[in-house]
Amino acid sequence: MKLVIVGTGYVGLVSGLCFSELGFETICVDRDAARINELKKGVCPIFEPGVNELLEKHLNNTKLISFTTSIKEAMKNSDIVFITVGTPTRRINNEADLTSIMEVAKEIAENINSYCVVVTKSTVPPGTTNDVKNIIKSKVLSENFDVVSNPEFLKEGSAINDFMQPDRVVIGADSEKPKTIIKNLYKNLNLKENYFFLTTIESSEIIKYASNSFLATKIAFINQVSDLCEKVGANIQDVSRGMGLDKRIGAKFLEAGPGYGGSCFPKDVKAFINSAKKNDVNFSILETVDLSNEIRPKEIVEKIINLQPFDSSSTICLLGLTFKPNTNDIRDSTSIKIAKLLNEKKIKINCYDPAISKSDKLKNNQFNYFESPYEACNNVNAIIVGTEWKEFLSLDFAKIKKSINEPIIFDLRNIYNQIEIEKLGFVYYGIGK
């Protein structure tokens, strides 16, 4: 069984490496020649725990993974082709931009020689996999291919684990043969039968969008509840825990904070709203979720300024710039949004983040970067925790207290124990408490 993965972003690269780990010969394709050259040398373009080790193992030892820029070359004798190229949102109408998907589908169609299953793994609006099917159908006999939707549910920072130990494997197809072929790919994960969810193509596509949108809704909901907690003297962490004990609700994704970010939730919520609009369906709930998350960084900044009168003479230290810990991804990071809003008010920003890349620092060169959290906190008027990196849990605040101008902390991720921090002489503000 030979697999081809087109697109070496997070989903493509992690899936490719994990399929190699499951014993399959996998060829990853990307039109970005520089990226492919680096991958061929074993240099990984993404920051993701465990990926470097898998790349080293399957590139140099098992030789199960290889890289190329040519779909044609990769598809010689291939059995399954995964489309894992990006689906960014178009700025004008928040629609998912499917240009790359359709271009890839055309190229795949030109290179199918014998029976092949074409799988959409990228997050795509309902109807896309069928559009891919129609493109291929115009060039290839129906008996020579099938299309399948097999969305990926991995999270950045724990992507390999999520692939290897999934909550479910969703497979959408309109006949049994491709369903069985794709299901068999996951055989070596030794999952129980109930981990597989076999359905239609459209339902599978919607499962992915609805899952991300539902999780985003949970976050937006708990964020607004946290605002009420602040007003009435309740504690959002207790409220979340108390709610999460109800098995129907579940404890996960109920952590209040500065809003959801990253390359998936904001984009997928908008694209799902757009799909509903196109089909004349009222998605007012999700529209509100999107809006509430868009304005949240601004609300947080207003709250900070109302609590403490910072001005152009102030410097604030921001700890954590990535959209969440264990990634170097700053796409749609709420930390960066908050830093920019404060900066617009002429407040200077010192930052420390354990993973942000040099190029992202250059792109955001209005902030001062430091190599350690302690240096970043020197002589500042307050600290904001924007991302809950584990190393921030063990910071020596007694040491920081000696070098900080004003001992004030805005803990936007509720990672610290308020009483302990206050005992050290800090003024502490959390979220929703």
Q: Is 270 in the site for ligand UGA (CB under 6 A)?
A: no
- Segment contacting ligand UGA by CB under 6 A, of 48-56, 109-117, 247-255, 348-356: 247-255
Q: Is 262 in the site for ligand UGA (CB under 6 A)?
A: yes
Q: Is 255 in the site for ligand UGA (CB under 6 A)?
A: yes
Contact set for ligand UGA, span 214-243 (CB under 6 A): 215, 219
Among 133, 179, 324, 348, the residue binding ligand UGA under the rule CB under 6 A is: 324
- Segment contacting ligand UGA by CB under 6 A, of 28-36, 86-94, 129-137, 257-265: 257-265
Phi then psi dihedrals of residue 379, to 5 deg: 60, 20
Count, residues near ligand UGA per rule CB under 6 A? 20
DSSP E strands, 307-422:
315-319, 348-352, 368-369, 382-385, 408-411
Tokens of 114: 């014998």
Q: 422, 428 in Cβ contact below 8 A?
A: yes
- 3-class DSSP state of 175: coil
Q: Is 30 in the site for ligand UGA (CB under 6 A)?
A: no
Q: Least Å distance between CB 138 and ligand UGA? A: 30
Among 264, 271, 336, 384, the residue binding ligand UGA under the rule CB under 6 A is: 264
Among 57, 106, 137, 155, the residue binding ligand UGA under the rule CB under 6 A is: 155
Q: 216, 269 in Cβ contact below 8 A?
A: yes
Q: Least Å distance between CB 406 and ligand UGA? A: 27
Q: 96, 124 in Cβ contact below 8 A?
A: yes
Q: How far apart are CA 267 and CA 275, in angstroms?
A: 12
Nearest to 237 by CA among 253, 256, 223, 219: 256
* 18 counts as catalytic: no
Among 28, 65, 104, 154, the residue binding ligand UGA under the rule CB under 6 A is: 154
For β-strands 80-83 and 116-120, DSSP reports them as: parallel
Q: 145, 117 in Cβ contact below 8 A?
A: yes
Tokens of 388: 């809950």
Q: 244, 254 in Cβ contact below 8 A?
A: yes
Cβ closest to ligand UGA, residue 124 vs residue 264: 264
Among 16, 86, 172, 261, the residue binding ligand UGA under the rule CB under 6 A is: 261
Cβ closest to ligand UGA, residue 8 vs residue 123: 123
Nearest to 269 by CA among 198, 351, 211, 184: 211
Tokens of 149: 């939707």
- Segment contacting ligand UGA by CB under 6 A, of 136-144, 176-184, 252-260, 289-297: 252-260
Instruction: Name the active-site residue from 264, 317, 351, 377.
Output: 264
Q: Which helix (H) or strand (E) holds 65?
A: strand 65-68
Cβ closest to ligand UGA, residue 87 vs residue 350: 87
Cβ closest to ligand UGA, residue 78 vs residue 129: 129
CA angle 215-193-24, nearest 5°? 90
Q: Is 265 in the site for ligand UGA (CB under 6 A)?
A: yes
Q: Is 354 in the site for ligand UGA (CB under 6 A)?
A: no
- Segment contacting ligand UGA by CB under 6 A, of 19-27, 255-263, 282-290, 352-360: 255-263
Q: Is 323 in the site for ligand UGA (CB under 6 A)?
A: yes
Positive or negative, the CA dihedral 374, 378, 384, 387 is: negative
| Residues paired with 2 in a beta bridge | 25
DSSP 244-285: HTSTTT-STT----S---SSSHHHHHHHHHHHHHHTT---HH
Q: Is 374 in the site for ligand UGA (CB under 6 A)?
A: no
Cβ closest to ligand UGA, residue 107 vs residue 255: 255
Q: How far apart are CA 330 and CA 404, in angstroms?
A: 27
Q: Which residues are catalytic?
A: 264
Residues at the interface with ligand UGA (CB under 6 A): 123, 152-156, 212, 215, 219, 253-255, 257, 260-262, 264-265, 323-324
